[in-house]
Amino acid sequence: MPAPKRTLLLLFLSLATILSAPLRMAAQTSLRDYTQVLQGLPLAILPADTADRFIKAELRARAAGDAAAQQLIELCRLHYLVNRTPQVGQAEQRLLRLLPALQRSGSEAAGAHALFLLSEACWRRGDQARALEYALKAYGRYTVWSGTEFPLKYHALTQLSLRFYHYLDFATARRIAGEALATKGAVELPEPHIVLNTIGLCLRATGQTDSAVAYFQKALAEAGAASRPVWVGIVKGNLGIAYYAQGSYAEAIPLIAEDIHESEATNNTFRNRVKSLAILGECYARLGRRAESAATLEKAQALFRERRFEQEHDLVTELFPRLARHYAGQGDFERATGLLEAAARSRDTLVRRQSALVLAGAQLRVFSEKYAAETAYFGQQRRNQLLMRNMLIGGIVLLAGMALLVIRHQRVRHLLREQQAASGKERAEAELQSATARLGQITQAMHEKNRLIEQLQHEWEERAAEEEAFGPEAQQTVSRLRDLTILTEEAWEEFQALFEKVHTGFLFRLRQKLPDLNPAEVRFMTLAKLHFSNKEIAAVLGISAGAVRTTRSRLRKKLGLAEEGDLEGLIARI
């Protein structure tokens, strides 16, 4: 029989074979032959009378007294419920009852598949922590098997890679996606464009756009060869966004436009369509095609309102700043200001969420290492049990076996303690990475706000020069924009806590070396440590640029420094 081409259908195909076979085949079915059953199936889809065929097959297996066949039929039925029906909760409960029976039967492959289905069921109903627990348990079993031994390995690895990408652990997501592509066996890789696209997304998220473009091009070729127009559109959109990130706007426009067209044709992926429209509008603007930019951004805004995406903060941060620049160019400064304020609130929300996701990703790595350690531990225990069983011949052999078991048990405990210590170090490093990322995001947000304010103020001042007036409305708008950049006391405390995590001991050494500094001067030294310019320091502290220069001059005199460079050098040495 030909090898199956799509792993998602393998379990359905096994059931189709069982249901169409005579009674004698059901009597011979064994869970120990699970792998052989999955490998020898034709490519087919279950017919509409699936439920009746499940019942008939189960009755045949029960009449033949084949408990193993009944368990395999139940596993197939639950695979169908998890992937093709909304009965996820019911399927999860039945899988929990079936799993011990599969483990007692000795079929590790069927047990790993049940764990994978439990992971999918938990993820679908929103219990992500439990889903990852089951996914990692399954991974600990099937990772040592080839695609021949566990035909569903490719699909399981693909899903696990997407889970790590969701938690922003791009390095682990890429590694597991690479394992999926390297899967060898009788099963032909089903739809590799999904895995190639995931790798491209990970590379693009980490700024490796050249490599991301290469993977997106591979994914595009695979999706085209598989005649998957929806995926062709999705991958073209991702490729276009990669070109946009490189500044290749002319190359990006046709790809993103085709992604939008495919989304409109199939009437789905509305969130991606809003994002693509926003980026396409900016590409037009960068090339000076103002009319097309305005039409595209207004289309994105209309779809945003139609689908009520106000709480989708990632879309708000993608769309609203571009709309603000559009309306500011038309002279509608009030609307531009409102959009900027909404974008700032959404950006703050996203920063908090991303920090939580980064931390969750770090915890997930620790969680993964924990299960890897447990898998090694249980494997060692199993070998010890086999050794002890073989050494039960006589008393002397039994005592030797027990002594060996104790020694090995102590070694395992020692290894576990070392792994726990390593996990603690990893957790501390993850917290430092999270704090560094959060501090960098806050700093970048400040830079972006200041840059946009300077751009808008420049435009308003040019307009005022032409009209020989700079009215109170424009002055009030400038004042409101500047207020957005000033750190509140609460925000300063969070900023200072993150700064202290990244630059550990700086503030303590500063106060110890320069005890006469007042709070304003401490804030000035902190921002100078991050290489903020005078304008940026003034915007963050809510003072004028002249006041910043006065503070800098006063500090040089207080510290007995003669030149400007001496103050920067002192800050660097603290």
6-45 residue pLDDT tens:
433 444 444 444 334 333 333 334 434 454 444 433 323 3
Chain centre to alpha carbon of residue 21: 44
**Predicted structure pTM score:** 0.55
Reference 168, options 355, 438, 431; nearest CA is 355
pLDDT recorded at residue 36: 46
Backbone conformation region of residue 191, classed left if phi is above 0, alpha if psi is from -120 to 50, else beta: left
292-316: pLDDT as tens digits: 999 999 999 998 888 888 788 888 8
Do the Cβ atoms of 177 and 198 come closer than 8 Å? Answer: yes
What is the spatial distance between Cα 285 and Cα 326, in angstroms, rounded to a whole number? 9
What is the spatial distance between Cα 118 and Cα 139, in angstroms, rounded to a whole number? 13
358-374: pLDDT as tens digits: 545 555 555 555 555 55
What is the spatial distance between Cα 472 and Cα 477, in angstroms, rounded to a whole number? 9
Chain centre to alpha carbon of residue 481: 33
Backbone conformation region of residue 145, classed left if phi is above 0, alpha if psi is from -120 to 50, else beta: beta
- Number of neighbours of residue 45 by Cβ within 10 angstroms: 9
Do the Cβ atoms of 21 and 166 come closer than 8 Å? Answer: no
User: Residue type for 20, please?
Assistant: S
Of 69 and 4, the one with more pLDDT: 69
Q: Any idea what the Cα angle at residue 511 is, between residues 507 and 517, rounded to 5°?
A: 110
Looking at residue 9, the DSSP 8-state letter turns out to be: G
Given a cut of 50, whether residue 476 has pLDDT beyond it is yes
The pair of three-digit structure tokens given for residue 538, joined into one six-digit string: 């003034």
Of 162 and 458, the one with more pLDDT: 162
Looking at residue 43, the DSSP 8-state letter turns out to be: S
pLDDT recorded at residue 458: 66
For 108, 282, 295, 449, 520, the CA distances from 291, given in Å and listed in that order, are 62, 12, 6, 26, 48
The pair of three-digit structure tokens given for residue 80, joined into one six-digit string: 């169908």
- Quickly state the pLDDT bin for 440 (edges 50, 70, 90): confident
DSSP for 373-434 reads: HHHHHHHHHHHHHHHHHHTTTSHHHHHHHHHHHHHHHHHHHHHHHHHHHHHHHHHHHHHHHH
DSSP for 289-325 reads: -HHHHHHHHHHHHHHHHHTT-TT-HHHHHHHHHHHHH
Contacts of 371 (CB under 8 A, 6+ apart): 133, 136, 137, 139, 140
- Of 52-61, 151-160, 168-177, 217-226, which gets the smallest average pLDDT? 52-61
Chain centre to alpha carbon of residue 464: 46
- Number of neighbours of residue 21 by Cβ within 10 angstroms: 14
What is the spatial distance between Cα 166 and Cα 373, in angstroms, rounded to a whole number? 24
378-410: pLDDT as tens digits: 556 656 666 666 666 766 766 766 777 788 878
